[in-house]
Structure 1
Amino acid sequence: MRGGQANEQLGLLGRPVQKLVQLIKDLEHLGVETKRLPLPKIVVVGDQSAGKSSLIEGISGIKVPRSDGTCTRCPLEITLFSSDEDTAWSCKVSLQQKFSFDSDASPHGRYGKWREDHNPTAIDFAIVNRKDALQDVLTRAQRATLNPGDNPREYLNALSIDDMPMKVEFSPNKVVLAITAPGQPSLSFIDLPGVIRQMTKAQDKWLVNLVENFVADHIEQGNSLILLARSMESDFANSSGAALIDQHNALGRTVGCLTKPDRWPLGSKTQLIKNVLHGDAFAVGHGYFVTKQPNQVELNDNISTDEARRSEEEFFAQDPWSTELQDFQGRFGTFKLRDTLSVKLTKQILVTLPEITRTVDARIAEVEHELTGYPDPPENALGKVLEALTTFRIALEKHAQGVHPYNEMHNSIKELATTFQSDLESLRPTLVLNTPEKFRQAIETPVFEIDNDDDKVGDTPCPSAEPRSLNKKRRAEPDTPVAASSAKKIKSDIATPVKNSALATKGNKKFGLLEIRETLSKLTASSVPGEVDPFAVDYFCKQTFVGWEPPMLEYINNVHQEIQTTLAQLLEITCAQWLNTAFFSEAKKIIKSFVANAMHNQEQHAKRALKLEQRKPMTYNNESYIQYHDKELSLLQNERITRRLVEKFEDADRAAGKFSEPAERKKKAMTDKKARGELGDDPFKQEIHAMARVRGYYYVALLRFHDHVAQGVQVEVLHELVTNLMQQLKAGLEVETRDAHERCKELLAEDRDREIRRKALQQERVNLLEAQRKLAAIGQIGEDVASLPNN
């Protein structure tokens, strides 16, 4: 497209072009741009010393900083807007912070020590109303960008920034200029840092890759146009910028610009330039333009923009530009390039608008769908919290009462109580019924121990005198959501005690007849034969209780876990929609603490009961004691007779040199009534009577202790839960205070990470809806814009 055609079309389009450029800027500010949807823009690429800065000055009509090279160390985005003739020139300077710097990070990532943030932040820096003041403000803005983490105002207000250091050599964050002036076309472009191949300091080599990756990422954006600056004083074949564009298959989207034509070596053949301008050499999709910017002498004379453009016109009016290359006059001059870029950018925006609209619409749907998982706190937060607590209280009362179908916790606690009783029964004292060897000559006599219901031989513990219920698999039959807690158990915070297989015998006391005789003799003060001191029986009784604490603690711990697990699940069901809120987490802590405190009190209660049993045996339950004593005495006497006969048969067989099976001797001893009647008095009759008293009392104490501990758990703990837990929850959650409404809003807010995500999604939705509105409002720009030629 020749420069005249571009001027004509821009004059025809006028304000619509500006609206399109402004639309893209607004969409970018709203965060619509993503890697999936790059917005149309012009990206200026060139090697160092390719004259890119001068080209930017020529297109925008401003002067960029040159003294310290900062203009090449961060991207500069410039947007030109046309204004009425009577409107003064102005420039708004802002800082776009899309990357954060981590000095401790590894420099080997794609962007080195820089990390891309999710949403860009725009910081207003200054508004400049005089062209001659912009260069200093721009220098300060760039210095602020090169000092991440500092307050940008420090650099704007400082008397001088010459002595202020730079924390980084390069920043991917942009300095953004919005220039409004009469008579200029609407245009937006980004000046990227020049592609570099080496750094002065070895430790800064990572910056080479950083800059190249940064430039490459902008080149890869499929909706962008690329303006490639190539110096005519350099070898075209050695352009790093052109090589990078070619590497990313972007030459078709590129507009070339040959710079520094005044430094084209004298005597050079024009054929190469003809080939380039004609597209036969180093071709790019949109062809080449040639611009001439002020040389160093003119810069030192502080030449104005108007003077620079007149000087450029005079330059291209000379040979060979006006003679051998006159066919390309439409591509000579900065304004012709600028106007053509404006038209091409407009065309690219129009082509991309449908895709932008579809992508924005699709993203709105995605965000709104995701937001369904991040509900807002309800308006009536206090009412919702109190309603949930009431639902929890009702469920708790039903499970505490244990009425079907809310009886699983009750059944579990009952099973634990049965197991507890069984463990205590397994610790009952055992009596070895063999006659001590010092009273008989038998050798290798099998150990014969009394059992509670027959004459088994071995270490088998006596079973309970009471019937035991079997551990049956529990089955939940919920008919309400809260009752469904029976169907599933969640992980408890209480450690589950490991059932010790040796627990049944760990505290089991085994007595021998001789041991009992010797102990009775030592502890009985009476000199009357056959008299047994009660103190001696108490001694034996207290010895049998030493193993009760482990099963007692296991029972309390298991009940603690059962209650805690049930309540945690009831709360989870009640707060199903607020599991990620402070309401659920704080309520769970309060419940856990309440149950732990209640069970701790029960543990102390049980330990006191155990101390009472161990301190002094006693009972007023004479009837039960007599019943168990008589039962144990009959059992011991019967088994002792059997044992004595077995021993007698063994001795007789040994004397006769005969051998018979032990089972035969035992069967004979149990069935030979004559032999049993003729056996005579037992020399250990006193010991048998003493052990009957110990074992009889053991069952009385066991049932009393078991009931005492189990009753404390099933009565006191459950009563405490129903009576006081709800008030503890209300107090801990602060839902009955003056600020209860605000407090409940906090309780029903998501956890920090989810709250951050929810707010980010909400803001993104607001931005996308605004973008959607702007896209709809732009409408059909006009048939004239749609019919613009591509070249």
Structure 2
Amino acid sequence: MEAASMTTLSMHGSFMGPNNALKDFGHAVKDINDALGELQARGIQHVVNLPELVLVGDQSSGKSSLMSALAGVSLPRSTGTCTRCPIHIRISKADDWSCRVFLNLQYEYRLPNHQITEADVTASNKFPPWVKCEPSRAKRVEFKVIHHRFDSEEIETVLRCAQLAILNPSTLYQAFIPRPQAGEGSDGSRLVLPALAARKEESSSEAQFSPNTVALEIKGPDLADLNFYDLPGVFNTARRVEDSYLERVVQNLTSEYIARPNAIILWAVPMNLDTENSLALRLIRQGRADHRSVGVITKADLLPHNPEAVERWMQTLHGKPNPLTGLGFFITSRQGSDLEEQIKREEAFFNRMADSTGHWPMAFDEFKERCGVEKLKNYLSWKLGEEFAKVLPHVKQKVHGRLQEVTGQLKHYPDPPLNPEMEIMRSLRDFSDGVKARISQRHFSSAWDVRCAEVFRQAVLSLKPKYNVKDHAKGLPSSKPVVIDLEGTSQGPSQSPTPRKRPAPAETPSRRQRIKAEGSNGAVFPSTPTHLRSSNPPGNGSPFKTPSRGQNRSRTLMDIRMMIQRNAIPGQPGLVSPGVYEPLFTEAVQTWDAPLKDFIRETFRFLLEEVRAILNTAFRVVKNRAIYKESKQYMENFFEEHREQLQEQLNLIYTLEAHSLFTKDAASLERYKAEELKTLTRHRNHYRIAAHNGEDIRPPPRMEDMTDEDLAQETAKMAKELRNLGPEQFEQELNVAAYTRAHYLVAANRFTDYVCIHVMSGLLPRVNSAIGDYLLEKLGLAHSKTTPEIIEKLMKEEEKILQRRDDLLTEKRTLDGAMDIIINLENRDKQAGSQFDATQSGDASDTTARGHDSPLSDRTRRYTPTAYGDA
């Protein structure tokens, strides 16, 4: 422990190194810190964290005096000045004096409709009633500029007014800018508070606190190169009960600045108090920022005159029992009313001169190189420059990356074209040509066929009438009918499990014919070639809805018998009246309404998707203009008109098909009837035989799963078994069912063909030829001479688009300026590095090995004494 303490002491004692070390590095430090200050002033913290100094401390910890000392000018120290919002101070050397004050407005004031309490201060709402703006909405406005040599009172007036402008956000900040004093005996150079600012200060501001920042930039001869944040002093007890929530708000603000990973924390702690009582230290520890904290002991002249106090502080400076800060301590004493007096009295105090005020124990002499604000400023200037040099490549990378993002986003918000009328006509021409070219492509019609036409056809075919051939399976009137419809794939509870399916046999011509004739569940479905089958069959994720069971219910043979009997003509036994076929057919056709509507909807959805893509490409230059929005709406209106027209045409076809049975295609009708009768009869015989033998009634195996040998055996077995059953009592009903299903197939194929050809040969050609002229007419551009008013109207942008472009352009200018600062710094450093290397004549090999890939960090390493590292 003792050895470690002595090492720390040695580092502290020799902290400054050779007297000329910092002087050699002075120009580099100035360039680096100037660049850092300019980057911070530009507000790129939303892109990358920059190194910064943050001054924190409890109330009455001596921060105000320390702030003035670091700034090198007599800043105001009156009660209440700059204690209700953060202040960012940037000081740098320059030939001429100047003082500029800015307002960094990154939070919006949103007052709730109730009295703010501690309950309103949450993890997501740290500074009520202030809410963080979007980065693009944040503003930095210049408040006041003073070009002549200024004094403390003048700066105090400007800062008081700037703070009042921040605390009263509903009033324009210009109302708070101080004016030169007027009147008899005034030279017009003295600044005074405006009347509004005076009233607000005397009464009460809208807000008691703000996280928005007052930025003070001071330039002048003999100033240090520093920039830092001074935060309001943290406290445990508010003066007014209604302001108790501010305790947590100010602590949240301090914690947020402490949490910045590249922040160097300056912790102000007075020497007349114990460090354990410091609330600021507790926040530093909570933020785990001890390793990047510098302790600044203020008010050394108020050290209690007792050995215990001296010993306690000696232990603290030696890091016992544990170091409180990772970067050690500095000790200050600011006495007097102005800056010059404070400098002299501090030097006299630490050197125990005869005219010094106060007592400085000799025990602290081992920390002599850490006593005084001037030594602190030199260290901070160097430390800040070193940290920035380390992260400069990362900063450059992040700024460049964000700049590319913003530039890319700006492409979506292009400036108005040089010739708006020509650009409008070009966009419309490209759109019209694009639609014609797309609709004419074979790929387009094939995509529509797969997505819409074929799915529609399959949906209609799937609604073919279904008949239950299992009732009265034994053929006896007294037999109890099987009322469960087993034509589907599911089985009734009385059935045995489905036997294991054998491997599919090789396909043969006769097997292909069977597959074409018979469906999988005993109902007849015409086979569809594999390459035309939709990936979304009806009822399985398809946009085409299958009618409910009630709409397409399964008829029984007994149902058909009863219909035949009701429609029988007296004196004509054995004849089936047309009145039997008609209801069975029209009942099935009525289910076409749903898939027809789905087909029309999906067809126009497909068309709109295609045409919208063409519109987006053709109007890419004017996409943020009114013409794009209007053209899109007119295009949708155009398709809605054609949808209604197509709906009317197809409804007529549907009405004709549903009216009655009709076909002249006798050959197809007979072919389908034979196939349907064969299938129905096979199923019927299978159930009759099973019922007669007392076997489980379950669906017969699918013919496409059977070999020719299996089929031959089945045929022979059925012929043998049927001889024991006698004639089929429902032969007439089976013929009616086969005819109805056959006529349905003829009509369904005809109907789907007519519907699809109305799209292919009617709708698409009309769209192709009319959409371009339709847009020209609706936009008011169909006439040979277009008025400037129409062009102006079509090129108008929405307010949010204008705002978005302005925000992106503002951020781009900020990032462009940041990149210029970084590149200029690198160029200056390379030049300085070359000049420096030229003076190192005895170490050419080291120069070659070292190179200049990272000139800033390399020069920082060369100029840094070995004992000048982080204490």
Q: Which category describes the TM-score, using the shorter chain as reference length?
A: 0.5 to 0.7
Q: Distance in 1 between matches of 2:748 and 2:43?
A: 75
Shift of 1:26: 0.7
Matched, 1:107 2:107: no
Determine if contact 1:75/1:175 at 8 Å carries over to the other structure.
Answer: yes
User: What secondary structure is seen at the aligned counterpart in 2 of 1:293?
Assistant: coil
Matched, 1:357 2:392: yes
* Aligned match of 2:609: 568
User: 2: distance between equivalents of 1:518 and 1:270?
Assistant: 119
Residue number among 468, 474, 498 corresponding to 2:545 in the alignment: 498
Rounded Cα–Cα distance in structure 2 between residues aligned with 1:93 and 1:6: 38
Q: Which moved more, 1:181-190 or 1:511-520?
A: 511-520
Corresponding residue number in structure 1 for 2:493: none
Query: Which SS does the other structure have where 1:185 is aligned?
Result: coil
- Long gaps (5+) in structure 2: 1-12, 113-118, 178-193, 418-422, 483-513, 685-716, 837-858
Instruction: Give the counterpart of 1:769 among 819, 830, 835.
Output: 819
Question: CA 1:610–1:20 in 2, change beyond 3 Å: closer, same or farther?
Answer: closer
Instruction: Determine the structure 2 residue equivalent to 1:97.
Output: 105
Aligned to 1:250, which of 263, 286, 290? 290
Give the corresponding residue for 2:766: 720
Q: 1:470 pairs with 520, 528, 547, which one?
A: 528
SS of match in other structure, 1:122: strand
CA contact (8 A) 2:84 2:209 kept: yes
1:45 maps to which of 56, 67, 73: 56
1:524 corresponds to: none
SS of the residue aligned with 2:199? coil
Question: Which residue does the alignment assign to 2:510?
Answer: none
Q: Residue 335 of structure 2 aligns with which residue?
A: 293
Choose from 590, 593, 596 the match for 1:549. 590
Q: Map 1:560-599 to 2 at 5 A.
A: 560-561=601-602, 564-565=605-606, 568=609, 595=639, 597-599=641-643
Equivalent position amino acid for 1:607 in 2: N
Unaligned runs of 5+ in 1: 295-302, 448-452, 476-485, 522-527, 644-660, 677-681
* 624-633 vs 593-602, which moves further: 624-633
The two structures, once aligned, show a CA RMSD in angstroms of: 6.3
Instruction: Supply the AA of the counterpart residue of 1:603.
Output: Q
User: How far is 1:245 from its partner?
Assistant: 4.6
Amino acid at match of 1:239: S
Which residue does the alignment assign to 1:171? 210
8 Å CA contact 2:51, 2:263 repeated in 1: yes
Query: How do residues 408-419 of structure 1 correspond to structure 2 at under 5 angstroms?
Result: 408-410=447-449, 415-416=454-455, 418-419=457-458
Task: Pick from 651, 657, 660 the counterpart of residue 607 of structure 1.
Answer: 651
CA separation of 1:251 and 1:712: change in aligned 2, threshold 3 A: closer
Using the size of structure 1 for normalisation, the TM-score is: 0.67
Whole-angstrom CA distance in 1 between matches of 2:477 and 2:542:
52
In the alignment, is the contact (CA less than 8 A) between 2:92 and 2:218 conserved in 1?
A: yes
Checking the alignment, whether the CA contact within 8 Å between 2:403 and 2:816 is kept in structure 1 is: no
Post-superposition Cα deviations, 1:87-110, rounded to whole Å, max 9, x if no partner, equal 5x5421111233445556952217
Change (3 A) 1:272 1:212: same
Q: How many residues align?
A: 702
The letter for the 1-side match of 2:763 is V
TM-score (ref. length: structure 2): 0.62
Q: Distance in 2 between matches of 1:46 and 1:432?
A: 94
* Cα deviation, residue 538, structure 1: 7.2
Residue pair 2:104, 2:141 contacting (<8 A) in 1 also: yes
Counterpart contact for 2:61–2:268, Cα < 8 Å:
yes
Q: Is the 8 A contact 2:29 2:382 kept in 1?
A: no
Q: Is the 8 A contact 2:435 2:768 kept in 1?
A: no
Q: Distance in 1 between matches of 2:223 and 2:389?
A: 28
CA distance in 1, matches of 2:587, 2:828: 89
Question: What is the DSSP-based 3-state SS (H/G/I as helix, E as strand, rest coil) of the residue aligned with 1:160?
Answer: helix
Partners of 2:264 and 2:736 in 1: how far apart? 107
TM-superposed deviation, 1:355 = 2.3
Residue 561 of structure 1, CA deviation: 1.9
Contact residue 55 and residue 266 of structure 2 kept, 8 A = yes
Partner residue, 1:679 = none
C-alpha distance 339-581 of structure 1, shift in aligned 2 (>3 A) = farther
1:557–1:445 Cα change, 3 Å: same
Q: Secondary structure at the match of 2:90?
A: strand
> How far did 1:122 drift?
1.6
Q: Which amino acid is the alignment partner of residue 330 of structure 2? A: Y
Q: Distance in 2 between matches of 1:612 and 1:252?
A: 88
Distance 1:397 1:749, change over 3 A: farther
Give 3-state SS (helix, strand or coil) of 1:601's partner.
helix
Distance 1:326 1:547, change over 3 A: same
Q: CA separation in 2, counterparts of 1:463 and 1:519?
A: 26
Equivalences for 1:643-682 in 2 at 5 Å? none
- The residue number in structure 1 matching 2:433 is 390
> Which residue number corresponds to residue 259 of structure 1?
299
Equivalent position SS for 1:72: coil
- Measured after TM superposition, the shift of residue 570 of structure 1 is 7.9
In the aligned structure 2, how far is the partner of 1:101 from the partner of 1:291?
39
| Alpha-carbon distance between aligned partners in 2 of 1:664 and 1:289, rounded to the nearest angstrom | 118
Please state whether the residue corresponding to 1:71 is helix, strand or coil: coil
Partner of 1:655: none
Change (3 A) 1:135 1:470: same
Give the deviation of 1:188 after TM superposition: 2.6
Alpha-carbon distance between aligned partners in 1 of 2:58 and 2:14, rounded to the nearest angstrom: 26
- Match runs of 1:273-288 below 5 Å: 275=314, 285=327, 287-288=329-330
The 1:505–1:461 alpha-carbon spacing in structure 2 relative to 1, beyond 3 Å, is farther
Give percent identity, aligned residues only.
18
User: Which stretch of structure 1 is more off in the superposition, 409-418 or 355-364?
Assistant: 409-418
Shift of 1:778: 3.7
Q: 3-state SS of the aligned residue for 2:106?
A: strand
Could you list the per-position Cα deviations for residues 494-553 of structure 1 after superposition, in whole angstroms to 9, with x for gaps in the alignment? Answer: 9813324748834979865665565577xxxxxx9769xx9x967973674244232243
Distance in structure 1 (CA, Å) of the matches to 2:85 and 2:635: 56
Q: 1:77-476 maps to which residues of 2 (within 5 A)?
A: 77-84=88-95, 87=96, 90-100=98-108, 107-109=121-123, 112-113=126-127, 118=135, 121-128=139-146, 130-131=150-151, 132-148=153-169, 151-156=172-177, 157=194, 158=196, 160-163=199-202, 165-199=204-238, 207-219=246-258, 224-242=263-281, 244-245=283-284, 248=288, 250=290, 253-254=293-294, 256-259=296-299, 261=301, 263-265=302-304, 271-272=310-311, 275=314, 285=327, 287-294=329-336, 305-306=339-340, 317-318=353-354, 325=361, 337-364=372-399, 366-367=401-402, 370=405, 374=409, 376-377=411-412, 387=430, 390-399=433-442, 402=445, 407-410=446-449, 415-416=454-455, 418-419=457-458, 422=461, 426-427=464-465, 443-444=478-479, 468-474=526-532
- Compare CA radii of gyration and give the structure with the larger one: 1
Report if aligned partners of 2:40, 2:50 keep a CA contact under 8 Å in 1: no
The CA deviation at 1:788 is: 6.9
1:696 and 1:35 map into 2 onto residues whose CA distance is 73
Structure 2 residue aligned with 1:299: none
Question: What is the CA deviation profile of residues 21-77 of structure 1, one whole-angstrom value per residue up to 9, with x for unaligned ones?
Answer: 322211112344469643243x3232211222233345543343634x353222222
**8 Å Cα contact 2:265/2:292 also seen in 1:** no
Distance 1:411 1:214 in 2: 62
Give the whole-Å Cα distance in 2 for the aligned partners of 1:388 and 1:630: 49
CA distance in structure 2 between the aligned counterparts of 1:663 and 1:753, rounded to whole angstroms: 86
Displacement after TM superposition at 1:554 (Å):
0.4
**Aligned with 1:56 (options 62, 67, 73):** 67
